[in-house]
A and B are shown apart, each in its own frame.
Chain A
Amino acid sequence: MAEVLAPRAGFVLRRPGLALAALVLLLVLAWALVPDLFTHYDPLSGVPREKLHGPSAAHLFGTDETGRDVFARVVHGAALSLRAAVSAVLIALVAGSVLGLVAGARGGWLDAVLMRVMDVLLAVPPILLSLALVTGLGFGTTKVAIAVGVANVANFARLMRAEVLRVRAGVYVEAARAGGVRWFDVLTRHILPNAAGPVLVLGVLTFGTAVLEISALSFLGYGAAPPTPEWGSLVAGGRSYLASAWWMTTLPGLVIAAVVLSANRISRALEGERA
């Protein structure tokens, strides 16, 4: 993976879009790690006197109905939203990869059973699946993350299985087996490292969609309980004021869009560089 992620300076500079995408993700990451560096407003308590002010130099994204700085809430919400997205991706990546690896490497009835289950998962739109899951699990950001992760497992399982089938037919895999290497070692030393590349790219791609899906679930009210700032619930909260205070939904929405697009762009670059 190291050779995939190590971008040569020239490679990035010749692609300004890619540089911008990386910059956006780095900025959002910094928001999540050290939010106080970017804003001195309190995300939870507002100044009622300054409620529903439009974007200005003092309040970049304006203020909401209780006078809280929207930018501060976006910055402070980054940690929660990103953590949820990353856990969702990790759940999908790890569970999907293990299932795909087992199915592809073992084959036979186990492969058939696992893949039919995945087909069923793929047949249901992911957002519906997440909704059903989160209704069963209960509310909260972690639970939303689990629901989104599980809804994405099938994609990873499918891709991993396809890659494993491709790699498994490779001569070096048979060479290892003919050399007396145990099946588990063949799997971890030969098949997995050579099958992982595209799956990791899908991981980056899914990060973008996970941000979106988590925001959607939060928007519907399944996510963090108010007043905790979270990107999806920020958009939802501004909905009632859409006519009078457009900035409350539009600007957090644009941040989400920027993150999703950036993740897409970077995933495409990783994919292209591998090809």
Chain B
Amino acid sequence: MSELLAVRDLAVSYRKVPAVRGVDLTVESGRTLAVVGESGSGKSTTAHAVIGLLPRGGRIDRGSITFAGQELTALSARGWRAVRGREIALIPQDPAVSLDPVKRVGEQVAETLLIHGLESRRSAPAAAADLLRRAGIDDPARRARAYPHELSGGLRQRVLIAAALAGRPKLIIADEPTSALDVTVQRRILDHLGALAAEENLALLLITHDLGVAADRADEIAVMSDGKVVERGPSAGLLAAPGHAYTRQLLSAAPSLSAEPLRPRRETGEPLVSVSGLRKDFGPVRAVNDVSFELAKGQTLALVGESGSGKTTTARMVLRLETPTAGRVRFDGEDITNLRGERLRLLRRRMQLIYQNPYASLNPKLGIADIVTEPLRAFKAGSRKDAAALLDQVALPASMLKRKPAELSGGQRQRVAIARALALRPDLVVCDEPVSALDVSVQAQILELLVRLQEELGLAYLFISHDLAVVRQVADHVGVLRAGDLVEYGRADDVLHRPAHEYTKELLAAIPGHLENAA
């Protein structure tokens, strides 16, 4: 087999700041290369350089990119137009923003066909529908007339795949094609993409932060760090015997590849929160239906489910940020279902919340010192002088106190959010996907921090996650939610190793890295 794409000593910089420093990659027809790395490693920049779509300010400093013998770095804008879509296609990262909201999806797929003159205006709609069918969309003729907002995230991603296939490219670059999707959807999409690539003898360049996904899907893996490829090799060999320290670090951090809990699981304890028959209707839609569970002091209960399963709504009802339509919430023996006003505010002292997105949950105008001591201020329980101690607890230096959130990395911000949640020494902390927005190695650090703080302070965690891989590291008990119903609930080991419900089994099977482990 011959090399289809060869990247040699590629260096890219943004306004003189180097992002990629000397990368060599080759992809052959019919093979899949996964480029794995964390944010800022330069993996996306490399992908964008290959398809000539570097963002403003980015330029190629040196190196060459050859595709089927043709040098791409020297191409003119016109030359690129013949390559993009026709020879190399890109499946972008976020299906929510990558489709034009005012055009029907069929037209958007047909656009590529028309631009490259592959179909006439008359035959394009039928061809677009056929592409949608090949991307795995049922009833493609009807879906083609839908607008993007009428489709789910998984379907939108399939539309993007159809659009990428339209020009019959020889190479498809998939930039984190599934990280915005639920795990079961992610699995189906990646299965489908793999099958298509094999069918058409396509080369696939898969950009991902998830070593588990790479292990499942790629023939070869290139690990990138700090703008360089630190290790490259066939998937199985690279994972079995990682040569580079950074690869080993990624491997040990990847939750999908390590099944051990971070601390021994706890079985029994005195209940702190007990929820019975909880129900929530938003208009005619029932978001949560008859959910009951208990959370004991010092333990972790994980609520698992995909988007729309009602897990976040359930947590918000426990915190009384939403009022249940029916059912009761008891906190430390007291019925808090109908608490209001000042009494509800005083209760907040004992229950705190950590959000998924540390970029959105910190007020950008306030300094870190003000942010972490905010709850102390609200309850007159301390002053800004306590800020340093709070930061110390989450292993951040006191020098951070004067900074603004924008000057911190995602992991640092999440630590600040944790420090804020712990400022009042609460009994219960609700963690709503606390690590989903973070890189894997940062994820591992934050999870370890959460577990350590739980040991030190005797916290109870209500842990919301879509990721069973993360859950099995931290949970004592697990509840699985699907479409508002609690389909399975029990001790973590039982649920994770002896799942009773079909849906739980499906979720477990969808954890990336699973294929490799089973083999």
Chain A positions near chain B (C-beta within 8 angstroms)? 170-172, 174-182, 185, 189-190, 193-194
Cross-chain pairs A/B with CB under 8 angstroms, 20 sampled: A170-B360, A171-B357, A171-B360, A172-B361, A175-B361, A175-B417, A175-B420, A176-B363, A177-B321, A178-B348, A178-B352, A179-B421, A180-B345, A180-B346, A180-B378, A181-B378, A189-B363, A189-B366, A194-B363, A194-B364
Please tell me if the beta carbons of B375 and A179 are within 8 angstroms of each other in the complex.
yes
> How far apart are the CA atoms of A19 and B365 in the complex, in Å?
28
Please tell me if the beta carbons of B420 and A178 are within 8 angstroms of each other in the complex.
no
Say whether B349 faces chain A, with CB atoms less than 8 Å apart: yes
> What residues on A are CB-neighbors of B489 within 8 Å?
none
Q: A171-B355, A171-B357, A174-B321 are in contact. Are A182 and B363 (CB under 8 A)?
A: no
Please tell me if the beta carbons of A181 and B360 are within 8 angstroms of each other in the complex.
no
> What residues on B are CB-neighbors of A170 within 8 Å?
360
Say whether B171 faces chain A, with CB atoms less than 8 Å apart: no
Which of A171, A182, A193 is the one whose CB lies under 8 Å from B361? Answer: A171
Please tell me if the beta carbons of B348 and A190 are within 8 angstroms of each other in the complex.
no
> What residues on A are CB-neighbors of B363 within 8 Å?
172, 176, 189-190, 193-194
Interface of chain A: mostly helix, strand, loop or mixed = helix
> How far apart are the CA atoms of A170 and B355 in the complex, in Å?
12
Please tell me if the beta carbons of A180 and B365 are within 8 angstroms of each other in the complex.
no
Say whether B19 faces chain A, with CB atoms less than 8 Å apart: no
> How far apart are the CA atoms of A176 and B357 in the complex, in Å?
15
Please tell me if the beta carbons of A172 and B362 are within 8 angstroms of each other in the complex.
yes
Say whether B374 faces chain A, with CB atoms less than 8 Å apart: yes
**Chain A nearest Cβ from B297, distance in angstroms:** 21
> What residues on A are CB-neighbors of B420 within 8 Å?
175, 179
Q: A171-B355, A174-B321, A189-B366 are in contact. Are A179 and B361 (CB under 8 A)?
A: no
> How far apart are the CA atoms of A176 and B424 in the complex, in Å?
13
Which 9 A-B residue pairs are closest in the complex by CB-CB distance?
Answer: A180-B348, A171-B360, A181-B378, A179-B375, A193-B365, A172-B363, A178-B353, A171-B361, A175-B361
**Nearest chain-B residue to A194 (Cβ)?**
B365
**Nearest chain-B residue to A174 (Cβ)?**
B321
Please tell me if the beta carbons of B378 and A179 are within 8 angstroms of each other in the complex.
yes
> How far apart are the CA atoms of A14 and B6 in the complex, in Å?
42
> What residues on B are CB-neighbors of A176 within 8 Å?
363, 374
> What residues on A are CB-neighbors of B360 within 8 Å?
170-172
Q: Which of B354-382 contact A (CB under 8 A)?
A: 355, 357, 360-366, 374-375, 377-379
Which of B321, B362, B378 is the one whose CB lies under 8 Å from A182? Answer: B378
Q: A175-B361, A194-B365 are in contact. Are A180 and B375 (CB under 8 A)?
A: yes
Please tell me if the beta carbons of A180 and B366 are within 8 angstroms of each other in the complex.
no
Q: Which of B297-321 contact A (CB under 8 A)?
A: 319, 321
> What residues on A are CB-neighbors of B349 within 8 Å?
180
> What residues on B are CB-neighbors of A181 within 8 Å?
374-375, 377-378
> What residues on A are CB-neighbors of B346 within 8 Å?
180
**Chain A nearest Cβ from B438, distance in angstroms:** 16
> How far apart are the CA atoms of A255 and B417 in the complex, in Å?
53
> How far apart are the CA atoms of A185 and B420 in the complex, in Å?
16
Please tell me if the beta carbons of B378 and A175 are within 8 angstroms of each other in the complex.
no
> How far apart are the CA atoms of A189 and B417 in the complex, in Å?
17
> What residues on B are CB-neighbors of A177 within 8 Å?
321
Listed residue (A170, A174, A180) with the most chain B CB atoms within 10 angstroms of its CB: A180
> How far apart are the CA atoms of A190 and B321 in the complex, in Å?
18
**Chain B nearest Cβ from A119, distance in angstroms:** 28
> How far apart are the CA atoms of A182 and B349 in the complex, in Å?
12
> How far apart are the CA atoms of A182 and B348 in the complex, in Å?
11
> How far apart are the CA atoms of A176 and B366 in the complex, in Å?
12
Please tell me if the beta carbons of A179 and B374 are within 8 angstroms of each other in the complex.
yes
> How far apart are the CA atoms of A178 and B348 in the complex, in Å?
7
> How far apart are the CA atoms of A269 and B377 in the complex, in Å?
37
> How far apart are the CA atoms of A174 and B321 in the complex, in Å?
9
**Chain A nearest Cβ from B402, distance in angstroms:** 15
Which of A171, A179, A189 is the one whose CB lies under 8 Å from B348? Answer: A179
**Nearest chain-A residue to B421 (Cβ)?**
A179
**Chain B nearest Cβ from A171, distance in angstroms:** 4
**Nearest chain-B residue to A177 (Cβ)?**
B321
Q: A174-B321, A185-B378 are in contact. Are A179 and B352 (CB under 8 A)?
A: yes
> How far apart are the CA atoms of A176 and B377 in the complex, in Å?
11
Please tell me if the beta carbons of B345 and A175 are within 8 angstroms of each other in the complex.
no
Please tell me if the beta carbons of B345 and A182 are within 8 angstroms of each other in the complex.
yes
> How far apart are the CA atoms of A171 and B360 in the complex, in Å?
6
> How far apart are the CA atoms of A181 and B424 in the complex, in Å?
12
> How far apart are the CA atoms of A272 and B417 in the complex, in Å?
31
> How far apart are the CA atoms of A172 and B355 in the complex, in Å?
9
**Chain A nearest Cβ from B312, distance in angstroms:** 12
> How far apart are the CA atoms of A20 and B115 in the complex, in Å?
47
**Chain B nearest Cβ from A3, distance in angstroms:** 10
> How far apart are the CA atoms of A171 and B405 in the complex, in Å?
14
**Chain A nearest Cβ from B331, distance in angstroms:** 14
> How far apart are the CA atoms of A26 and B378 in the complex, in Å?
43
> What residues on B are CB-neighbors of A185 within 8 Å?
377-378
**Chain A nearest Cβ from B296, distance in angstroms:** 22
> What residues on A are CB-neighbors of B362 within 8 Å?
172, 175
**Chain B nearest Cβ from A62, distance in angstroms:** 51
> How far apart are the CA atoms of A147 and B277 in the complex, in Å?
59
| Known contacts A175-B417, A181-B377, A193-B363; 13 further A-B pairs (Cβ under 8 A) | A170-B360, A171-B360, A176-B374, A178-B353, A179-B348, A179-B353, A179-B378, A180-B346, A180-B349, A180-B378, A181-B378, A185-B378, A193-B365
Listed residue (B361, B362, B364, B424) with the most chain A CB atoms within 10 angstroms of its CB: B361
> How far apart are the CA atoms of A181 and B345 in the complex, in Å?
8
> What residues on B are CB-neighbors of A194 within 8 Å?
363-365
